[in-house]
Amino acid sequence: MGQGVTAGFTLYVRFFYPIHWLYNLQVTIYDQTGKVVGTGFSPDGSLVVIPVRTESPTNWLRASALGYASDPLTVIQASPLFWVVGGTSTIPVENIGGDYWVVIQLFQ
C-alpha cells in the first residue's frame, strides 16, 4: 500500500531584523528528522506562506532563513553595502496539521 499525506501544515513565516532592509530570503522547513518538507522565498523580507505536507507523524518543524540585509540609507548610496543574515526558529506542531505563525529572528 502506498503512503498518503498524514498531515498538512501551513506556515506563515515573518522575519525580525530591526532597522534594516531585507532582500532575497530563502526559507527552508525541516521536520524533526532533518528532512526538508518545504521551501519558500521572500524577495523583500515580507511574509512567506509555505504549505507543508508530511507522510510521517510530525511533532515540530524548524524554519531556517538565509538572505541579505542593508542599512536603510543604502538606497541613496553610490555603492550599497549588503551583508548576509540568517536565523532559525523551531515550533511544536500537532500531528493533525494546522496553521502556524513563525517569526525568525535574523542575525548577522
Within-domain flag for 24:
yes
For residues 101 and 108, what is the distance between their CA atoms, to the nearest angstrom?
23
> Which range of residues forms the domain containing residue 51?
7-105
Within-domain flag for 2:
no
Kindly report the CATH number assigned to the domain that includes residue 57. Answer: 2.60.40.10
Instruction: Give the sheet arrangement for strand 21-30, strand by strand.
Output: 36-42, 21-30, 60-70, 82-92
Q: What's residue 104's pLDDT? A: 97
By the 8 A CB rule, do 34 and 79 touch? no
Q: Which residue, 108, 74, 76, 105, is CA-closest to 90?
A: 105
Q: What is the pLDDT of residues 30-55, one digit of tens each?
A: 999 999 999 999 999 999 999 999 88
Least confident span in 28-42, 50-64, 74-88: 74-88
- How many domains, the chain? 1
Backbone angles phi, psi at 91, to 5 degrees: -130, 140
Q: What's residue 7's pLDDT? A: 85
Q: What is the DSSP letter of 107?
A: B
